[in-house]
Amino acid sequence: MGSLKPAGAHGQDEFGFLATRVDELVNWGRKNSLWPMPLGLSCCGIELMAMIGPKFDLARFGAEAARFSPRQCDLMIVAGTLTWKMAEAARTIYDQMPDPKWVIAMGVCSSSGGMYDSYSVVQGVDTILPVDVYVPGCPPRPDAVIDAIMKLQKKIEREKPIELLLSGDAVGEYDGGTKRFVRAPNHGIPTTRSHEYLAPGEWKDR
């Protein structure tokens, strides 16, 4: 982004001007003012708090303003084990966040179900949410999540908001938050942990 502020000595107007591309300006604004929605579901939540606190100081990246109202947030950090019982609430919170919005899956539980290979745990929040960045770790260190936020900032830099706006598809590639409860597209990858029904005689060791 180019910034030119004419000096008063040139005798032009006092207010100055700014020359840039709209896309870059918008992306610059978005990436440096991510407001996280801290969905602290288990132990990852503790690391999340540490990350926002003074020692790791997320304010350096403009993302320290954690808000507990989804209306004020544009970055959902799913920190911890998402159970099926909580899944509807998580999805509702995501839907209530205004566009544009991003999701970080923090920790293995939210990335893939982690060690909870169980009927009660959602095997990866990408089952119900479109995830931008996955952070491994159990729980990940705050540094790792900060790294994820920096990666997300790089991702936001590459977005083309004006193009999206003009194409009339402002929601983006993922038709999230619309009426139908659709599964996130990146969940199409078959895993060995499929939820196929097995009769007792067909149980097999993994």
Partner 1 sequence: MAGTNERVAAALQGLAHEASTGKDGMCVVRVAAGDAKECIRRLKERAGFETNTFVTGVDRFPKSPRHECHWQFMSVEHADRVRVYAALPGDEPKVASIVDLYPGAAYAERECFDMFGIVFEGHAGLKRLLMPEEYDHFPLRKDFPHHGIEPDRLYREWDRRRCERAAVSDHSEIADQ
The residue ranges that bind partner 1 (CB under 8 A) are 84-85, 87-88, 91-92, 95-96, 98-99, 117-120, 171, 177-181, 183, 193-200, 203
Q: Smallest Cα–Cα separation from 110: which of 21, 166, 184, 53?
A: 184
Q: Which is nearer to partner 1, 3 or 120 (CB)?
A: 120
Q: Which is nearer to partner 1, 5 or 180 (CB)?
A: 180
What's the closest the beta carbon of residue 187 comes to partner 1, in angstroms?
11
Q: Which is nearer to partner 1, 114 or 137 (CB)?
A: 114
What's the closest the beta carbon of residue 70 comes to partner 1, in angstroms?
10
What's the closest the beta carbon of residue 161 comes to partner 1, in angstroms?
16
- Amino acid (one-letter) located at 100: P
What's the closest the beta carbon of residue 118 comes to partner 1, in angstroms?
7
Q: Which is nearer to partner 1, 9 or 198 (CB)?
A: 198
